Amino acid sequence: MQFNYVVYKITFPNGKIYIGKDIGGSGHSLRYFGSWDNQTVAADFTKEQLSKFTLTKEILFESVDKDKVSKKELELIKAYNSNQPDIGYNRT
């Protein structure tokens, strides 16, 4: 049995985005939403805003090849400029 690994885009309530990949052992997980820096994200919202918080997760790319997924993640971070602080949360 082969599993699909994915690159996804998370959109936050303020419109900023995070591009990530899920290449865990069992493939794409509905519960995995990335590894952005929590302090960076939290700094953009008030306590009240964080009390009711909706994220949108969109699958941008999928493959059974982990290397292709990793390469595509980097391409999409650049394409979406999600490493720019005013656009997204990909900071590393």
**Structural domain boundaries in the chain:** 5-80
> What is this structure's pTM?
0.88
Nearest alpha-carbon partner for 16 in 48, 40, 46, 32 = 40
Paired strand residues for 26: none
Q: What is the pLDDT of residues 64-77, one digit of tens each?
A: 999 999 999 999 99
pLDDT tens per residue, range 25-81: 666 766 667 788 889 999 999 999 999 999 999 999 999 999 999 999 999 999 999
